[in-house]
Amino acid sequence: MRWLKFAALILVISFVLFGTAFIYLLGAKDSANEVKELVEIEVGQTRSEVAQQLANKNLIRSAYAFFLYSRLLGGRLLPGTYELSPSMSASVIANMLATGSVKQKKVTIIEGWRISQIADYLSKEKLDKTVDFATVAGPYEGYLFPDTYEVNIDITSEELVEKMRNNFHKRTEGLKVTPETVILASIVEREAQNDTERAQIAQVYLNRLKIGMKLEADPTVQYAKGSWAAPTVEDYHNIGSPYNTYLNSGLPPGPICNPGLASIKGVLSPADHDYLFFFHAKGEIYFSKTLAEHRAKVKQYY
């Protein structure tokens, strides 16, 4: 009996010591160090590989303690990019990886951006898995809804394109949007300087289309040129692209940017007028019915 009591005492002491050590090893590696770093857990990594990766980065005290605790949690460690620091306990990190609490950030896509501009912006935001965005998004110019999105920093181009397209369909649900609507809305988006102008500008182009007059819209030339810089007179005549509406009648073959909802609604509910010309000067917009009237106003106000 004496030996049994002694053995039981040793077992209890060992359990307490193990528990104390285990709790210590699950504590923060350095509670004073709150510097965060991004850690990518890849698809297919084993639990032990993840534990060793975290230990090698000095984010946890013990790979074994992390491994054991994460096993006790159950489930699996989810792949993704996480923002971790040595001030976090191993138990907190394990819970983050088990629940997929990946790092997120907000990205704001501006109305009137073309796909190449969105791609450049994503690169500056260091969304590294969207390096092929321009290629993936290529067929969907005009349908990538401009908005603020909260995304995982390891979001892929395919995932982001799907999110933006779904948002387009959600925001335009109930509206009678056709491909022609989006094309004209993309031109209006680049032409209008404020919301009050959108319906008016839309009607100018609709009036031109109705009588078979060329749109002669500068933004279409800019799109063909690959730059939003003001086109030259030579550009109007020399850029041989189906998007050049100075050379080609009707709408261009596709949208020239990604329009916002206000421009889409402006096309669907245009103003009631018979103007065929307009221009901006010193923050104002001037409309005319005839070329002679247009030229006179340009001379007066430009």
Are 61 and 25 spatial neighbours (Cβ–Cβ below 8 Å)?
Answer: yes
Helix segments in the chain, DSSP class H: 2-25, 47-56, 63-73, 90-99, 115-124, 133-137, 157-171, 179-191, 195-211, 218-225, 233-238, 261-268, 291-301
Are 115 and 137 spatial neighbours (Cβ–Cβ below 8 Å)?
Answer: yes
Q: What's the CA gap between 270 and 250, in Å, rounded? A: 18
> 46: which residues sit within 8 A by CB, 6+ positions away?
none
Q: What's the CA gap between 177 and 205, in Å, rounded? A: 17
- Domain map (residue ranges) of the chain: 26-99, 104-171, 179-301
Q: What's the CA gap between 116 and 124, in Å, rounded? A: 13
Q: What is the architecture, at CATH level 2, of domain 26-99?
A: 2-Layer Sandwich (3.30)
Nearest to 103 by CA among 151, 144, 55: 151
Distances (CA, A) of 80 to 132, 140, 263: 19, 27, 37
DSSP bridge partners of 211: none
User: pLDDT tens per residue, the chain (302 residues)?
Assistant: 665 554 544 554 554 444 566 577 888 888 889 898 889 898 889 999 999 999 999 999 999 999 999 988 888 888 988 999 999 999 999 999 998 888 888 999 999 999 999 999 999 998 989 999 999 999 999 999 999 999 988 899 999 999 999 999 999 999 999 999 999 999 999 999 999 999 999 999 999 999 999 999 999 999 999 999 999 999 999 999 999 999 999 999 999 999 999 999 999 999 999 999 999 998 899 999 999 999 999 999 88
